Amino acid sequence: VFSVLYVAISGIARRPGPTELPFFEAVRSSSTRIAHLQAALLAANARADAAEALLASVKRETSAQPVGAKPAPVPSGGTSIAASVLEEAAWERSADNQRLHDLIERVANPRREVLLALANDVMMCSNRKTCWWNGGNVLETFLKSLQRLQLRNFVILSLDDATHEFCERFGHVPSLRLELPVPTAQQGSRGANMISTLKYGLLRQVLLMRFSVLVVDLDLVFLKDPFEHLHRDADVEASTDGFSASWAGGQIQSVHEPRMGWGAGGLYVQHFTL
């Protein structure tokens, strides 16, 4: 799967032809959306700065007051700013998220770190037509590798009853059965693709719960406890499926599309998804 960034290279200046107009309309629309996004980010940063200044001011005033003194009133509008910032930083208190929070709270290590994996029946290859390897239960192999390492701070999110029942039969598997809606763009695609799209929303919620999370695929085997080999020197780290340095980091390619007239030449970046 490629993420493609197309950069048009200008040539001789002239009025675009009829076949080129859709391209320029798309560029204009994208520029407008980017401008709106930048404005929204600037507004959010301003609100965050205002809330931080307000909280610091209240803290200073509170510490300076004598014991038993009545707290100073919060400036007009300050309460709403602080409340909105705190609300944006809170995780969604749905029933499923509460169950997820309680389970992670129970199994996380003292650093509040947890390994998180999503699984459905495709990973068990119960139907040879839906798995793209030569058979074999990938989920079982994954769980055996964790069992061999005596890893306890992990959670399997089961997306169907068969997978959840298998985890229960395997024994000592912190498994949570969830019903997660698949985004419209991925409906009807392969099971692995649909699972991949669900990771990001879950990752956001777990981070808002103030846990550190290592999201992994099931088609791997750990030879050592991964949490004993993390440098923890970055806020976010990710691996890639790229099979070479150029594919992993991205490589620039060129394209020539005669129908685009003077903008026929272009560059794009190819890289594997995370």
Q: How far apart are CA 5 and CA 43, in angstroms?
A: 27
State how beta strands 175-177 and 154-158 pair.
parallel
Q: Is residue 237 a part of any domain in this protein? A: no
Question: Residue 5 is inside which H or E element, if any?
Answer: strand 5-8
At 77 the pLDDT is 52
If one counts every other C-beta atom within 10 angstroms of the C-beta of residue 108, the result is: 20
| pLDDT at residue 24 tops 90 | no
Q: Do 57 and 115 have their domain in common?
A: no
At 164 the pLDDT is 95
Q: Is the model's pTM score more than 0.75? A: no
Q: Is residue 151 a part of any domain in this protein? A: yes
Q: How far is CA 217 from CA 117, 139, 237, 239, 248, in A?
A: 6, 10, 15, 11, 17
Q: Do 150 and 34 have their domain in common?
A: no
Q: Do 249 and 156 have their domain in common?
A: no
Q: Do 81 and 100 have their domain in common?
A: no
Q: Is residue 235 a part of any domain in this protein? A: no
Q: Say how many Å lie between the first and final Cα of the chain, rounded.
A: 10
Q: Do 224 and 249 have their domain in common?
A: no
Q: Do 114 and 199 have their domain in common?
A: yes
Q: Do 16 and 39 have their domain in common?
A: yes
Return the bridge partners of 119, or none.
Answer: 158
Q: Do 113 and 182 have their domain in common?
A: yes
Of residues 182, 201, 230, 211, the one with CA closest to residue 103: 211
Q: Is residue 172 a part of any domain in this protein? A: yes
Q: Is residue 236 a part of any domain in this protein? A: no
Q: Do 60 and 122 have their domain in common?
A: no
| pLDDT at residue 162 tops 80 | yes
Specify whether the CB–CB gap between 223 and 141 falls below 8 A.
Answer: no
- Which residue range is the domain that position 141 belongs to? 95-228
Q: 3-state DSSP call for residue 89? A: coil
The domain total for the chain is 2
Q: Do 138 and 52 have their domain in common?
A: no
Quick one: pLDDT band at residue 28, thresholds 50, 70, 90? low
Q: How far apart are CA 132 and CA 128, in angstroms?
A: 8
Return the bridge partners of 75, or none.
Answer: none
Q: Do 83 and 115 have their domain in common?
A: no
Residue bearing the bigger pLDDT, 17 or 121: 121
Q: Is residue 70 a part of any domain in this protein? A: no
CA-based Rg of the chain, rounded to a whole angstrom? 25
Q: Do 134 and 207 have their domain in common?
A: yes
Q: How far apart are CA 171 and CA 159, in angstroms?
A: 18
Q: Is residue 233 a part of any domain in this protein? A: no
